[in-house]
Structure 1
Amino acid sequence: MRLAALAATVCVTLAALPAAAFAQPELMSATPAAKSVVNKPTVITLNFSEDLVASLSGIDLVMTGMPGMADHKPMPIKGMAAKASGKTLTATLPRPLPTGTYVLTWHAVAADQHRVEGSYGFTVR
């Protein structure tokens, strides 16, 4: 009987813990946004559902297409200064992005130490 009561107490206690304690960061918004067409951005901002671990979170950006160059190979954008603060991951670009298509890949780690990642594309006109 005591074992059943203890098991029930443990189950109730675990169920009462906040769900956020087990949550992983989720991308809530981004600028530039997925599939958007923008004018020469100089900053990329990603907002997440959880506070991020700055040293384990980051952004990579690759230019995948350029007007007038059908055989353009993907070119990684170098020189970005990415930093995380609270729930926001920001990358400052060394110069405005030229006209073309881009794929942004991000990775984020919150207090639970689980790495999540994603990617999306956008266009600069």
Structure 2
Amino acid sequence: MLKHVKSSVFLALIMLLVLAFPTATWAHSKLETSTPAADAKLTENVKEVSLSFNENIDENLSTIKIKNEQGEAVEVSEVNVTENNMVGTLAAPLPTGSYTVEWKIVGGDGHPVDGTYNFEVDAPEAETVPETPAETPADNEETPADTGNAQEETAPADDNTADNTDQKTDQNQQEEKSSTNEESPGSGTIVWIIIIVVVAFVASYFGIKASRKKK
């Protein structure tokens, strides 16, 4: 009987201790909300991850990491802790893919607590500005009017060339005729001189011969 009483008193004391110090017994810091939320599927750019806990956390001992589906760490440029909130700012918006958030904190009770959760991103495609072509093929093609003007411009040049050629031909012909005319009188004069010399030689020959016969 006495043993049963002692056991009941001991159990009652344990229950009183548990009820008197519930926080010290099992209430550690825990994650209450997150942005992006666990298992979320986002179709917008994600530039930061924000976590909220049920109590203030130590800013010097609390960390946050983000990894892609290949297990590679995503660069977190800055981590800010304010009371029970921790915000990790990303160096660049997350591309499409699956990501894991790994957090580790130290709460008011001094106990370290950590956890993980996943989310997915289907990032919108960046808009591309169409490039304006520097020059279109139509700009290089000559219009019929332009072609006609070009032909009209080249035609006088051809006519002038033909006229110049004709003038040169006429000049050459005239020079040839004049040279022929100049040579003709000279040639005739020489022939007559030769004939006169021959006649004079023959006459003198026969005259000398006749004079010898008379003697």
Q: TM-score, normalised by structure 1?
A: 0.76
Matched, 1:30 2:34: yes
| Secondary structure at the counterpart of residue 75 of structure 1 | coil
- 1:1-23 superposed Cα distances (whole Å, 9 cap, x missing partner): xxxxxx999x8577435x44553
Report the Cα distance in structure 2 between the residues aligned to 1:14 and 1:114, rounded to whole angstroms. Answer: 19
CA contact (8 A) 2:38 2:119 kept: yes
1:88 deviates by: 0.7
The 5-angstrom pairing of residues 1-125 of structure 1 reads: 15-17=19-21, 19-20=22-23, 23-38=27-42, 39-64=44-69, 73-125=70-122
Report the Cα distance in structure 2 between the residues aligned to 1:13 and 1:117, rounded to whole angstroms. Answer: 27
Structure number with greater CO (CA < 8 Å, separation at least 6) is 1
Aligned twin of 1:70: none
Q: Which runs of 5+ in 2 are unaligned?
A: 1-9, 123-215
Instruction: Please tell me the root mean square deviation across aligned C-alpha atoms, in Å.
Output: 2.3
Aligned residue type for 2:33: S
CA contact (8 A) 1:24 1:50 kept: no
Q: TM-score, normalised by structure 2?
A: 0.46
Aligned residue type for 1:90: V
Report the Cα distance in structure 1 between the residues aligned to 2:115 and 2:51, rounded to whole angstroms. Answer: 11
| Secondary structure at the counterpart of residue 106 of structure 1 | strand
Aligned residue type for 1:122: F
Q: Which runs of 5+ in 1 are unaligned?
A: 1-6, 65-72
In structure 2, relative to structure 1, the CA distance for the partners of 1:80 and 1:21 (3 Å cut) is farther
Aligned residue type for 1:117: D
Report the Cα distance in structure 2 between the residues aligned to 1:57 and 1:46, rounded to whole angstroms. Answer: 11
CA contact (8 A) 1:24 1:110 kept: yes
Equivalent pairs: percent with the same residue? 29
Larger radius of gyration: 2
- 1:78-115 superposed Cα distances (whole Å, 9 cap, x missing partner): 23311211111110111211111101111111121111
- 1:32-78 superposed Cα distances (whole Å, 9 cap, x missing partner): 011101122111111101100011111100011xxxxxxxx322112
CA contact (8 A) 2:76 2:88 kept: no
